[in-house]
Amino acid sequence: MSGTRPMRAGSRDTRLPARLALADGAVFEGEAMGALDDGRIASGELVFNTCMSGYQEVITDPSYAGQVLAFTYPHIGNYGVSPEDDESRRPFCRGVIVRDLTDRPSSWRSAESLEAFLRRFAVPGLTGVDTRRLTRHVREAGAMSCAFGTASEQELLAAAKAEPGTLGMDLVAEVTTGAPYLAGMQGAGRRFSVVAYDFGVKTAALRNLVGFADVEVVPATTPAAEVLARRPDGVFLSNGPGDPAALGHVVREIAALLDAIPVFGICLGHQLLARALGAQTYKLRFGHHGGNHPVKRLETGAVEITSQNHGYAVADGTLTGAAVSHVNLNDGVIEGLRCTDARAFSVQYHPEAGPGPHDARYLFEEFRALMAAS
């Protein structure tokens, strides 16, 4: 068959050349994709994720608010996008960087291509970027501000240097719910009642909680007194984006809950619980973003393969009123704590995800047991 091959909107046949500029002056070439229209400049804090699959769940994780997400796995978008895999109502990341974006996804579950999904939610991106070189650069230089688009190199470098990043930023206000709501199907008979603070909660976390409890999700700014007035059996502190040190108002409410009710925190919720106990937090060099982090459970010596997405951690030696329960075997970062004087515990990683595949699901059962014992 002869003739000219038709060009597909948004395909590699029609892409505009674009660049990614980092705040330290490094520049990477690529092509515009997603909602990166001609003349637009996108910026944020650049981080990389090492997951080999689950790109939709990663992109829709609210913990990426304020960040530009680069995938280390080179082939992204091959199975398209399915609504059932969304972790939140929309992506909150500032952009997506990939090596090779699939133009034609292949999966019976696919409702649309990844690029169509990004365009629908106005998420800009780059494809054709040497993400191997980019990852090595970030590992050596650390996470930093960046800008990308079709503008000149000078304009992009200026935008990258002007981007404030996430340090000291309250990004939870951008992702939290505006009003309380009930999560999933509420059960009949004797079930537990849980109030879940939404700091950027993922659908998978709520799905695990709904398995044994009636769950009401509340805004991040909800006072402890209002939570206790609901008379729940427990409180869940969710994952979320940004610097925990910028959330002093939330930390004070968590501190007010500790003597009154069982508490379970993950990710940002773990950091906020630690700060409520008087601990300090700090920014990691390039964060933990991926699905293969080995974490040791100190109580048993078992090693869990965990999913992680965070740029901050609890400072070792600053924790009081709690014992360290888990550590990261890659770098020794505190990955879990258990309070000694309160009915509360937390982990830095994401037990609702399943890279192990279910190494950490026991934590939800421990929360259920803690409520039952109370």
> What is the span of the domain harbouring residue 153?
17-162
pLDDT tier at 190 (50, 70, 90 boundaries)? Answer: low
CATH number for the domain including 213?
Answer: 3.40.50.880
* Mean pLDDT across 95-110: 95
Residues 141 and 207 in one domain: no
Task: Please give the average per-residue pLDDT across 296-320, as a whole number.
Answer: 95
The catalytic site residues sit at: 267, 350, 352
- Summarize the confidence of residues 138-164 as an average pLDDT: 97
Which regions of the chain does DSSP assign to beta strands (E)?
17-22, 27-34, 41-49, 67-71, 75-76, 95-97, 100-101, 124-127, 144-149, 181-183, 192-198, 213-219, 234-237, 263-266, 281-297, 303-314, 322-328, 334-339, 344-347
Residue 360 is predicted with a pLDDT of 82
Question: Does one domain contain both 190 and 157?
Answer: no
Which CATH number fits the domain that encloses residue 84? 3.50.30.20
Residue 69: inside a domain: yes
Q: Which of 133, 162, 191 is the last residue of a domain?
A: 162
- Does pLDDT of 212 surpass 80? yes
Q: Are residue 177 and residue 143 in the same domain, yes or no?
A: no
What does the pLDDT look like over 37-88, one tens digit per residue? 888 999 999 999 999 999 999 999 999 999 999 999 999 999 999 999 999 9
Angle between helices 268-276 and 248-257 (to 10 degrees): 70
Residue 34 and residue 122 in one domain: yes
Decide which of 162, 188, 221 is a domain's last residue: 162
pLDDT of residue 187: 65
Do 148 and 287 belong to one domain?
no
Q: Is residue 158 part of a domain?
A: yes
Q: Are residues 143 and 195 in the same domain?
A: no
Tell me, what's the pLDDT at 7?
A: 33
Residues 343 and 214 in one domain: yes
Q: Mean pLDDT across the chain, nearest whole number? A: 93
Is residue 237 in a domain? yes
Residue 153 included in any domain: yes
Task: Judge if 154 and 202 occupy the same domain.
Answer: no
136 in the same domain as 52 = yes
Residue 280 lies in a domain: yes
Average pLDDT for residues 184-207, to the nearest whole number? 87
Report the domain count for the chain.
2
Query: pLDDT digits over 332-343, tens only?
Result: 999 999 999 999
Residue at 1 is within a domain:
no
Of 138, 162, 186, at which residue does a domain stop?
A: 162
